[in-house]
Amino acid sequence: MVPLYTKETRGIRITVRPQYLPDHSQPLQLQYVFAYFVRIENTSKRKLKLLSRHWLIFDSIGEEREVDGEGVVGEQPVLTMGDVHEYHSYCVLKSPQGYMEGSYRFIGLDDVLFEAEIPRFILTADDSSWSLL
């Protein structure tokens, strides 16, 4: 069973489902490819626009990366009450285990900026090793 990771911050509920992609990975070349499917739901009564993302990516050999950028996969969705935005992306690790976490920056109609936390989610090429991180 694939785990779901959920976190809610100030009326934004973020759910992530990671998946290892063995057909796209090359373990002998230290390339482990993971997809992640994200659902962003506005549970507040405010109209919000997603401006940017900030990711922290860690693998089990001690490498850390930060990724910042506008929007998500080229979009800056506007979410009214009850709206959902879904997208998927991927990352490549040099080890079979790691995790990702981060935040999305939103702005409301009142021009107030805030960060919605992306829950930490485990990336593993072997389901039996989830407890290692």
Asked if the model's pLDDT at residue 129 lies above 50, the reply is no
What value does the mean pLDDT take over residues 4-12? 96
pLDDT at res. 11: 95
What value does the mean pLDDT take over residues 78-88? 97
pLDDT at res. 78: 97
pLDDT at res. 110: 86
Asked if the model's pLDDT at residue 85 lies above 80, the reply is yes
Asked if the model's pLDDT at residue 128 lies above 70, the reply is no
Indicate the pTM of the whole model: 0.90
pLDDT at res. 121: 97
Contacts of 57 (CB under 8 A, 6+ apart): 64, 65, 66, 67, 91, 93, 98, 100
Domain 5-124 sits in which CATH superfamily?
ApaG domain (2.60.40.1470)
